[in-house]
Amino acid sequence: MKRLSLLLAAAATLMSSNAMAALAIGTKAPDFTTRGAQAGKTFTLTLSHQLKRGPVVLYFFPKAFTPGCSAEAREFAENIDKFKAAGATVIGMSADPVDDLVAFSTKECAGKFAVASAGPAIVTGYDVALKMRPGMTDRTSYVIAPSGRVAFVHSEMNYAEHVKSTLAAVQAMKGK
């Protein structure tokens, strides 16, 4: 029983220290170009081009078609009109191959926003490597201002608050 308690405590420490790994507010967000998909169609996505239209919610998720990641994508899709009303673009990012994201963009994202492949340079640049599962990203959501600076960060493996917190952040930016 004591050994189980120690293992659980160690796992909790790993998860919380992993969730702390994120770029600081005010940091210049690394620009990148990658392949993405929306509504089942692939395209090339460049962050700096997206920022010309307004703030970007760049949310990293561990793996397409897993329960938490699917639920998070559906919640972003259900709220996409609110994000657009606040002038924001939502982009999901995962280390999954683009072929997997093509189907995910249609089924779970309902074709309402883009999902893109986060290669090793992007994962490192945004400090989102899932330390307990190499080749996957942790669940971190960034709101990036049109200036390219990180305006808000929510890093937590539980998906429940990511949509609500990023929506509040972009709505607050619009109010300024």
Q: What is the pLDDT of residue 18?
A: 37
Put residue 87 in one of left, alpha, beta given phi > 0 → left and psi -120 to 50 → alpha. Answer: left
Structure tokens given for 163: 């949509």
Give the range among 38-42, 81-85, 109-113, 130-134 with minimum mean pLDDT. 130-134
pLDDT in tens, 2-21: 432 333 233 333 333 334 45
Average pLDDT, the chain: 88
* pTM score, whole prediction: 0.86
Domain range for 68: 2-175
- Residue of higher predicted confidence among 133 and 168: 168
Instruction: Please give the single-letter amino acid code of residue 51.
Output: L
Taking only the tens place, the pLDDT of each residue in 49-99 is 999 999 999 999 999 999 999 999 999 999 999 999 999 999 999 999 999
- Domains held by the chain: number: 1
Q: Is 69 a catalytic residue?
A: yes
- Residue tagged active-site, from 64, 69, 128, 136: 69
Predicted pLDDT of residue 176: 58
At residue 11, the pLDDT reads 34
- Give the CATH number, domain containing residue 156: 3.40.30.10
Q: How far is CA 132 from CA 66, 71, 122, 129, 137, in A?
A: 16, 22, 18, 9, 10
Instruction: Count the alpha carbons within 13 Å of 176 in the hemisphere toward its beta carbon.
Output: 10
Residue 130 pLDDT: 87
